[in-house]
Amino acid sequence: MGIKSSRSGAAQLDAAIFDNLSMPAAMVDLGTRTVLRVNGALTSWLGLTLEELTEQQIGDVANRLGFLWTLPPRRAEPPAFTNHEASLRLPDGSTRHVWLSATPMSHDDRLFHLITLQDVTSRVEAEHEVHQLKRLYATLSQVNQTIVRVQNRADLYQSICDVAIRFGEFTAAWLGLWNESTDTIHPV
């Protein structure tokens, strides 16, 4: 089957391309702030139906998904941004981290946004884990230095707790000694 060169043929091709994008995408009318169209990748990813997304106010959809913005979008007329980092809570309760992009477009004197989402949850979780490990290693290093520096046992215990709070970013800390014969821990 050939592609028609007519305007309706081009519109059908554009619709087919949009519908088959592997990246979650939506078209939003900037005048009415209404979601006009979403692709299958977005409905599958969100776990929502076309009816739950199309013809809805973009603010209502964002509220329903619990968007938690992590970086303020750049201001432009009409607003445009690329790889804006955001977090959202999906209807199944899971939290996902995305790069959100909005590209302004116009057609028949109407302004639209082509909105795309890229799931970067794995990257964000890996960065968080690396941060936690760095914090742990810094805490252990400081505890080792404290053990070498502090001579008095009571001062040592207090200093180790102080290090855990300061470098480990804990809200509270306590030490216990393990009694091997009774298999119990006794706070000191």
pLDDT tens by residue, 29-80: 888 889 999 999 998 888 888 888 888 888 888 877 877 655 555 555 667 7
8 Å CB contact between 141 and 134: no
Residues 6+ apart with CB under 8 A from 171: 165
Q: Which of 86, 82, 118 is nearest to 102 (CA)?
A: 82
Q: What pLDDT does 6 receive?
A: 53
- Report how far residue 61's alpha carbon sits from residue 8's, in angstroms, rounded to the nearest whole number: 30
Task: Tell me the β-bridge partners of 104.
Answer: 113
E-strand spans in the chain?
25-29, 34-38, 68-69, 81-89, 95-107, 110-119, 176-179, 184-187
Q: In one letter, which amino acid is 47? A: G
At position 72, the amino acid (one-letter code) is P
d(CA 125, CA 123): 5
Q: How far is CA 42 from the centre of its chain?
A: 16
Q: Is the pLDDT of residue 4 over 60?
A: no
Q: Comparing 62 with 140, which gets the higher pLDDT?
A: 140
Under a CB-based contact definition with an 8 Å cutoff, are residues 115 and 84 in contact?
A: no
User: Using CB atoms within 10 A of its CB, is residue 112 exposed (0-12), middle (13-18) or buried (19+)?
Assistant: buried
Q: Compute the chain's Rg from CA coordinates.
A: 27
